[in-house]
Structure 1
Amino acid sequence: MKKILFICTEGFDTPGPSNHLIGTLIEDLLEDGFQITLIQSCRQGIYDDIPDNLNDKLNFESISVNRKVINKSSFIKRYLEEGVYHFKAFLKWKKVKGVDAVFVQSCPTVMFSIILLKLFTRYPILYSIQDMWPGSAVSSGVLTNKWLALLFYKLQRITYSLSDVLTVISEDMKRKVIEQGGEEEKIHTIVNWFDDRSIHEVDWTENRFVNKYKLKRHMFYVQYAGTMGYVFDYKMVLKVAEKLKDWQDIEFHMIGEGSQKDKFRQEADKNFLDNIVFFPLEPQNMVSDVYSACSICLIPLIRGVIGNSVPSKAGLLMACKKTIVNSVDENSDYYKMFNDNGIGVSVSNRDPDSIAQAIVQLYENKEIRDVIAENGKRFGEKYYSRAENTIKFAEIFNQMIGGVE
């Protein structure tokens, strides 16, 4: 039986956009006959260490490493603490026997685990790139020191060279990795999928989120649900909400947490934008209900981030049969994909007027909205489903391991 070691910087106990991806990937690899050992962090204890779909699974073990909770504004402390985590994880995974290949989850300090793997093992390494470092931090303005950014780019280049396989989540990201020194023949594009076993449209009358907050059927809800971090363009939401504040039936729902949420809420209050309503993070089992509760979804990304990061919620929204409006770089494949395939509306993130106009057009034209949502659902099933994508990892691992049994 082929054994895969998963090294993840974040754990299932802490909410995160990659949790459902890691959980479903491990489950499908187990069903494909692999044995899995997971190394994960434990620091917030909001959720269980092991999700329900992995509880009591044969050939699966999870090893947790305790971590401290560091304020997100303390960049240096966070970086150092995360680096320490990799060494603590090393002390755990070096005792794991019979490993045939390693899956390493991306994070700013990923090079520590990859260098330790190269120094102490001969395991082939799959580096799963979800959010490019330092590219996303530079694009979002979090990392402004050019010399420090240059150092991190050089370290990332070393990380690419030491990895046997690189997986990226979009063609835009693939080009970025190649530009930054990644070898094209190593790179595989596998999009972030939705779980087609559990994610689906929930009828309004049965929707738990709708019932919990007593939402009104006649209202037009423009929703963003997810992390309100540095790549989330909350200023664009403020501009668009300001332009539409006289539309009494249009309301913006911002659901989740993140480093920018407090600033976002303060500026909304300061500008008397009562058409923006904030909601707390919902548990993972509420995903279908949350996304099904909107009229349309707005995904606002800051300029320059799209190649370094890609919204993971697109497939989820397609599965829930919702129309997506993207505020994104107009020269990206992601932008073109939605407009060219009629699966959503992409608008330049330099143009709040056009974003407001797109929202109004969808508000006034339910037929168009329904056609786009139906197109998206079919497109998602074909390209973004769990069934179509986790199998690609199994194929890659089999190629990496070769004849090992």
Structure 2
Amino acid sequence: MKVLIQRTSGFDTPGPSNHLLKALIEDMISAGFSVHLVQASIKKIGEEMNSDLKKLDGFTWDTLERKDIPKNRFVRRYLEEVQYTFRSVKYWKKVNDIDAVYIISCPTALYGIVLTKIILKKPLFYGIQDMFPGSAVNSGVMGNRFIAKIFYLLQKIAYRYSDIITVISEDMKNKVVEQGVPEKKIFMIVNWFDDRTVHEVLWEENRFVKKYNLSTKKFYVQYAGTMGYVFDYKMVLAVAELLKEYNDIEFHMIGQGSQKEVFIEEKSKQKLDNIYFFPLEPQNMVSDVYSACSICMIPLKKRIIGNSVPSKAGLLMMCNRVIVNSVDSDSEYFKMFSEYDMGISASNDDPKAVADAILELYRDEDERQRMAKNAHEFGEKYYSRTVNTKKFIDLFHLIVDKKNRTEG
């Protein structure tokens, strides 16, 4: 089977989806697939193509140059992304014997979906990582209701043209169903961790710990990831203010994002000396970074959890770390941590509840270790690469076999 994968970013641009796509391609090749990837080069921070993928027989790719337009220039960025999709068409046409197409979600996914359906006429698999425009609306990026309504209508067209849709949580599945998509068309596959490489790194061997000379006498509350519009930095500020009298509790913010600068400015204005910022670390440091915290804090703005899900949850579970979530209290994600006793969720309109959750784990190491053990077991069962890439592979077989039966 030969699959064409279309995405609007590339491996030279750091992002939470890179390790997921790498693992998926590797496992598809191992299962006997051929894969051709069309990607964009934007940031030019890393290699054009992951060095491990370059070695795979049966994997080919094309990389198109794109402009690096700031996210706050939405119209210009959107139109450039549409143009990139149309430029991709000639690269699709040169790939022979395509059996299925996989489109990775982005604000302009509709155009790739419709064009591949019209031009290639192949079964189409739409993988949703971040729902648009829901995520933009609920994070405050898209404030105009009329424009949002138009994008919701366009998104329904994308759903209609897709043969299979995957989502990464039950909350997201509910959102898609609410928009009129038949439930039988939607499959949930979570963002996995690579159970072959991700693991807890002991303190004395931890490269991140050594790099920043971290102390064993501190309690580290960590957020490592993108500090973008869905990230609730105001919650971190509020919680850090409530806990500033605890000299041995430090908040470590690791990574980049559109909200990082304003976050740093507000931290300085409030004179919060218990928040520390660190740059983004390379992918091979994932285990070291997540193993360097006492607990992880995941603060999301209200109404985000149904449109986007923290991809780091599984990684933290594999590193034996407990998560304190600040999310909507009526979400399935919120309830999951209590149900499986593997972390603490607090409402994202209640900074004191978040601070109390952190203090509970700060004061009780036995409880922390018990929850970490439960989280690790849950992660192995539900979030592992081994379990979830197979689900993707099975779905590709499903849509291609269904088409062959129909044509036969």
Q: Normalized against structure 2, the TM-score is what?
A: 0.98
The answer to whether structure 1 residue 78 and structure 2 residue 67 are counterparts is no
Matched, 1:399 2:394: no
Q: Match of 2:221?
A: 222
Work out whether 1:192 is the aligned partner of 2:191: yes
Partner of 2:273: 274
- Residue in 2 aligned with 1:110? 109
Identity of aligned residues (%): 57
Task: State the match for 1:11 in structure 2.
Answer: 10
Q: Which residue of 1 aligns with 2:47?
A: 48
1:73, CA displacement in angstroms?
A: 1.5
Paired AA for residue 238 in structure 2: K
User: Residues 320-360 of structure 1: CA distance to partner in whole angstroms, max 9, x if unpaired?
Assistant: 00010000001000000001100111111111001101111
Partner of 1:174: 173
AA matched with 2:342? I
Q: Which residue of 2 aligns with 1:27?
A: 26
Instruction: Return the letter of the residue paired with 2:65.
Output: N
Between 1:140-149 and 1:86-95, the stretch displaced more is: 86-95
Residue of structure 1 equivalent to 2:385: 386
Unaligned runs of 5+ in 2: none
Cα displacement (A) at 1:55: 2.3
CA distance in structure 1 between the aligned counterparts of 2:260 and 2:75, rounded to whole angstroms: 21
CA distance in structure 1 between the partners assigned to 2:22 and 2:85 by the alignment:
21
Show CA shifts across 1:106-147 (max 9, x none).
Answer: 000001111111221211000000000000001001001000
Q: Does 1:129 align with 2:128?
A: yes
Residue 51 of structure 1, CA deviation: 1.5
Shift of 1:52: 3.1
**2:143 matched residue in structure 1:** 144
* 1:36 aligned onto 2:42: no
> Secondary structure of 2:221's partner?
strand
Q: Look up the SS of the partner of 1:69 in the other structure.
A: coil
How far 1:195 sits from its partner (Å)? 0.4
What's the offset of the Cα at 1:181?
A: 2.2
> 1:5, 1:38 within 8 Å by CA — same for their partners in 2?
yes
Distance in structure 2 (CA, Å) of the matches to 1:53 and 1:355 = 40
Counterparts of 1:313 and 1:52, CA distance in 2: 23
Alignment partner, residue 347 of structure 1: 346
1:209 aligns with 2:208: yes
Q: Which amino acid aligns with 1:189?
A: M
The answer as to 2:328 corresponding to 1:358 is no
- Give the deviation of 1:68 after TM superposition: 0.7
Q: Is this contact kept in 2: 1:36–1:60, CA < 8 A?
A: yes
Residue 91 of structure 1 deviates from its aligned partner by 2.1
- Shift in Å at residue 94 of structure 1? 1.9
CA deviation digits over 1:8-51, x for unaligned, max 9? 11101100110011000010000000000001111221111222
Letter in 2 for 1:28: D
Matches of 1:92 and 1:372 in 2, distance apart? 49
Q: Determine if contact 1:160/1:181 at 8 Å carries over to the other structure.
A: no
Question: What is the CA–CA distance in structure 2 between the aligned matches of 1:49 and 1:290, rounded to whole Å?
Answer: 24
Amino acid in the other structure paired with 1:6: I
2 CA distance for matches of 1:78 and 1:241? 35
Q: CA deviation at 1:75?
A: 1.0
1:345 is paired with a residue whose SS is: strand
1:225–1:256 CA contact under 8 A, matched in 2: yes
Q: CA deviation at 1:282?
A: 0.4
Shift of 1:81: 1.1
Measured on the aligned residues, the alpha-carbon RMSD in Å equals 1.1
- 1:124-177 CA-to-partner distances (Å, cap 9, x unmatched) read 000000000000001001001000000000000000000000000001000100
Size of the aligned set, in residue pairs, is: 404
For residues 220-242 of structure 1, the C-alpha deviation after alignment (integer angstroms, 9 at most, x for no partner) is 00000000001000000000000
Matched, 1:153 2:152: yes
Match of 1:61 in 2: 60
SS of equivalent residue, structure 1 residue 347: strand
1:311 paired to 2:297: no
Instruction: Tell me the residue number matched to 1:300.
Output: 299
In structure 2, give the amino acid aligned to 1:77: R
Q: What is the alpha-carbon distance in structure 2 between the residues aligned to residue 290 and residue 236 of structure 1?
A: 22
Q: Determine the C-alpha separation between the residues in 1 that align with 2:53 and 2:145.
A: 43
SS at match of 2:394: helix
1:231-274 CA-to-partner distances (Å, cap 9, x unmatched) read 00000000000000110000000000000000100000010011
**Partner Cα distance (2:61, 2:116) in 1:** 19
- The CA distance in 2 between the partners of 1:372 and 1:52, in whole Å, is 37
Q: Secondary structure at the match of 1:201?
A: coil
Note if contact 1:9-1:40 (Cα within 8 Å) is conserved in structure 2.
Answer: yes
Match of 1:326 in 2: 325
Over residues 77-100 of structure 1, what are the superposed CA-to-partner deviations in whole Å (9 max), with x where a residue is unaligned? Answer: 111111111111122112211100
**In 2, distance between residues paired with 1:94 and 1:343?**
48
Unaligned runs of 5+ in 1: none
Structure 2 counterpart of 1:167, which letter? T
Q: Which amino acid aligns with 1:224?
A: Y
1:139 is matched by which residue type in structure 2? N
- Counterparts of 1:73 and 1:130, CA distance in 2: 21
